[in-house]
Structure 1
């Protein structure tokens, strides 16, 4: 069996990722309205009603905006840790108890041939966590919304085949931009978001001999650009002795358009 995925959309306005194998399919986060989510699924030729469940990373609106609507309309199982469930109370409307499942941090759940491993990140949410998907020898890491990448996180995510990896902002653009200082300080903090350069440093440390792709994700609309992110990451990787295109490729994600549905 093989595992496929698409970054349906990623950015400061909303985030959603689709992962499937022949038996099961999952949505990680639903950061858009129900109608927008249906449109994103149609672009990759998949249906929301066929999902095995939705996995929640944390309670920020750009990750759960459409969660309640999708849960109620399609009667889907929803997975989140208990602190995130508590934090979402009042944000997603009523979800039937039988649809609510607890997925604790630093644990794994198994769905046929897919194993999903959760791990904590450093972000200003109740108990933010992201996921590693395992299918046979294949490993897909999803990780955005973290202020830094700790040694513990690096150990969990090391040597994956494919990464969806935060490259949120250019530090110069952020410092010179229009955001008030308290917002800039939050983004730059250890519970904010990873910059292009810091992302590249972490990539150099976690990439292994089977790593093929890094998808640059959760780019800020105000403080980053696709070309700038790729250039900054590539230049920093080069200082670490890694040439993009030789050891692995850098690929874009988009805030509105899904990436092609491809095998991990």
Structure 2
């Protein structure tokens, strides 16, 4: 499975997954024209995108959904999350219930609930027909046992490592924003992400992508070292037992 992180962070999120001739997008949170440009830069024709799966309806995840209208791409989102998505033509709307299974050419996609301040936010598990597995867990304030159960055994983990709590606490953000970020329906800290990955990684050469880093309240090296330190407790070394990339 080929992974292309077209955008990541509070300014926009968009992930392309490709196997054989099939590409799907997880979120479309940058302008339609930027998605088209970045797809072409990684060798993907926009018209070849078979589906878009939305994690939730915050603008940094759905800004570019008019792409679906242009290329007639089906868009999947939690059934209640559609209340806040108004830019997709009716015939392209696909409402999903928790735990649904969706066939998309060379992919099978299932969803799971996450914890974020949206109406009906989801994470996704994407499998190829030969059972290669990728898990995508973006905005969430915590990782619970049910989420771990869905994600375990993956070959690829795409997960947010949003912030370092101490940096949030001393930031210039209003207290209400700080409270939101640090809450159980906010975003994952580096430590939360590291602990979750220590429960998931089995040292079988998994690929890990740390995404959605805050530009104000995190540092790529800090996120990387926090995860590496936690996995080292299990005897796992980067480059030997797993591969890690910070986006």
Report the counterpart of residue 12 of structure 1 in structure 2.
Answer: 10
Report the counterpart of residue 133 of structure 1 in structure 2.
Answer: 126
> Which of residues 35, 57, 60 is equivalent to 1:59?
57
* Gaps in structure 2 of 5+ consecutive residues: none
Give the length in aligned residue pairs: 246
TM-score normalised by structure 2 residue count: 0.94
> Which of residues 98, 102, 105 is equivalent to 2:91?
98
Does residue 117 (structure 1) correspond to residue 110 (structure 2)? The answer is yes
Report the counterpart of residue 257 of structure 1 in structure 2.
Answer: none
Between 101-110 and 212-221, report the one with greater CA deviation. 101-110
**Distance in 1 of aligned mates of 2:204 and 2:110:** 19
**Distance in 1 of aligned mates of 2:78 and 2:185:** 18
Query: What secondary structure, in the 3-state scheme, does the structure 1 residue paired with 2:80 have?
Result: helix
Between 232-241 and 17-26, report the one with greater CA deviation. 232-241
Assess if the C-alpha contact under 8 Å between 2:14 and 2:28 holds in 1: yes
Report the counterpart of residue 259 of structure 1 in structure 2.
Answer: none
Report the counterpart of residue 152 of structure 1 in structure 2.
Answer: 146
Deviation of the 1:207 alpha carbon? 1.2
Report the counterpart of residue 186 of structure 2 in structure 1.
Answer: 192
**Distance in 2 of aligned mates of 1:239 and 1:140:** 24
Report the counterpart of residue 85 of structure 1 in structure 2.
Answer: 82
Report the counterpart of residue 42 of structure 2 in structure 1.
Answer: 44
Report the counterpart of residue 29 of structure 1 in structure 2.
Answer: 27
**Distance in 2 of aligned mates of 1:32 and 1:7:** 12
**What are the Cα deviations for residues 74-103 of structure 1, in whole angstroms up to 9, with x where unaligned?**
2221111221111223xx3xx322111122
Deviation of the 1:208 alpha carbon? 2.2
**Distance in 2 of aligned mates of 1:170 and 1:81:** 29
Deviation of the 1:23 alpha carbon? 4.3
The verdict on how the C-alpha distance between 1:4 and 1:87 changes in structure 2, with shifts beyond 3 A counting, is same
**Distance in 2 of aligned mates of 1:229 and 1:160:** 21
Deviation of the 1:241 alpha carbon? 4.0
Assess if the C-alpha contact under 8 Å between 2:29 and 2:62 holds in 1: yes
**Distance in 2 of aligned mates of 1:204 and 1:54:** 29
Q: CA RMSD in A?
A: 1.5
